[in-house]
Amino acid sequence: MKIRFVFLLLVGGLLLGGRVAAQVPVQGEADHARLLASPDPRLAANKRLVYDFWREVFEGGHLDRAEHYLAESYIQHNPRVPTGRAAFVEFFGKRVKAVPIEARVRTPLVSIVAEGDLVSLAFVREYPDPRAPGKTYTSTWFDLFRIQDGRIVEHWDAATLP
C-alpha cells in the first residue's frame, strides 16, 4: 500500500509538470587533454582535427582556416547551413567576426568520442527554463563529424528549422 502511494505521488507529480525530481545539471570536463587522448594515433588525430576546427574556425571565426579542416565537398546536414566548404565560409562570414583563437575550446565540453572515421563532440548547453521565468537549465548538444583523408567531409547535429 505504501509503495503504491509513493508511485501515485511520483506519477501525479510528473503529470502536473514534472517537478517531483530535479534535473542533474550537465557538467563540462575541465581536462581537454584527457578528452583528446586515445591509444589509437589515428583516432587521436581525428579528435584533434575536429577540436582545432571547432576552436579556430567555428569559435574563433577564422574562416580563412576552413580549407585546412574542411574538404571542398563538405556535406552539411544542419538544415540551417548550406553544404560545401565555400558555402560554409560564405554563410558564417556574414554572421561571425574573427576573434583571437583560444588555446582550448571555450564552449564547455562533456566528451569527445572517436570511432572509425567519426568524431562526436558533446557540449553543455544552457537554455531559459520555460517553466520558471528568469531561471535556466542545462542540456547536451551533439555534433558529429566524418573524417576522410585528414579533412572533415560531413557534419550532423541536432539543429532543426525555426
pTM for this model (two decimals): 0.85
The sign of the torsion formed by the CA atoms of 39, 113, 60, 81 equals: positive
Class of domain 24-157: alpha beta
pLDDT per residue rounded down to tens, the chain (162 residues): 555 433 443 444 444 454 444 589 999 999 999 999 999 999 999 999 999 999 999 999 999 999 999 999 999 999 999 999 999 999 999 999 999 999 999 999 999 999 999 999 999 999 999 999 999 999 999 999 999 999 999 999 999 998
Residue 22 confidence (pLDDT): 58
Q: What DSSP letter does each residue of 72-131 carry, written as one string?
A: EEEEE--TTS-SSHHHHHHHHHTT----PPPSS-SSPEEEEEEETTEEEEEEEEEEE-TT
3-state secondary structure at position 145: strand
Whether residue 48 contacts residue 36, with contact meaning beta carbons closer than 8 Å, is answered with yes
Domain boundaries, the chain: 24-157
